[in-house]
Amino acid sequence: MVIDDLGFPHPLAANGAAWGLFTDQVMGGVSKGSLDREAVDGRAALRLRGDVRLDNNGGFVQMALDIRADGRPADLSGFAGIALTVRGNGTAYGLHLKTADTTRPWQSYRHSFDAAPTWHTVRLPFAGLRPHRVDRPFDAARVRRLGLVAIGRAFIADLALAEARLYTEA
């Protein structure tokens, strides 16, 4: 099932929701970022760029999308995980999922991935998600939002996304 294949005008995704840019400035940090639609190595891409800084307890830039256009939780329990077609600058990024159980901004379920400087697809199984500052286990029947995040260390972020989809086989 396609989450987004960049077939709709920016910032809209295939599900009707809009991609958004978020930085640590919402909590007093000083990281800066941009989120643009552009061609990257011949492919249409959503491109997150930023200067991730740790000043003022900051440290992230993120592109995020509600799983449903109305923001309500979606039942993804019939799927094994999320596959992302990405290109980056050879460093690690994070997939952060929010569920109906994550009520605080800092709570999420996380999976890291490497974004090589060539287009490739990474498969991130739900079974590999780690809870971050949340006591409940991940519940795929209650997913609200996904975020692709440059986080946790000072660096220059450059992550391009060509497609996000759910997959069923492990």
Asked if residue 166 is part of any domain, the answer here is no
Q: Residue 64 sits in which domain range?
A: 20-158
- pLDDT given at position 130: 97
Q: What percent of the chain has pLDDT over 70?
A: 99
pLDDT confidence of residue 27: 84
Those residues whose C-beta lies under 8 Å from the C-beta of residue 70, and which sit 6 or more positions away, are none
One-letter amino acid at 162 equals A
Q: What is the pTM of this model?
A: 0.95
Task: Give the three-state DSSP class for 30.
Answer: coil
Q: Strands (DSSP E) along 42-154, which ranges? A: 43-52, 60-66, 81-87, 91-99, 108-115, 120-125, 130-132, 143-151
Residues 106-165: tens digit of each pLDDT: 999 999 999 999 999 999 999 999 999 999 999 999 999 999 999 999 999 999 999 999
CATH code of the domain in which 123 resides: 2.60.120.430
Task: Determine, yes or no, domain membership for 123.
Answer: yes
Is 3 a domain residue?
A: no
Strand order in the sheet with 108-115: 20-23, 60-66, 143-151, 91-99, 108-115, 130-132
- Element at 156 (helix H, strand E): strand 155-167
Contact between 143 and 129 under an 8 Å Cβ cutoff? The reply is no
Residue 9 within any structural domain of the chain: no
Alpha-carbon dihedral angle through residues 3, 62, 48, 64, given to the nearest 10 degrees: 20
Within-domain flag for 164: no
**Is residue 7 a part of any domain in this protein?**
no
How many domains is the chain built from? Answer: 1
Residue 59 placed within a domain: yes
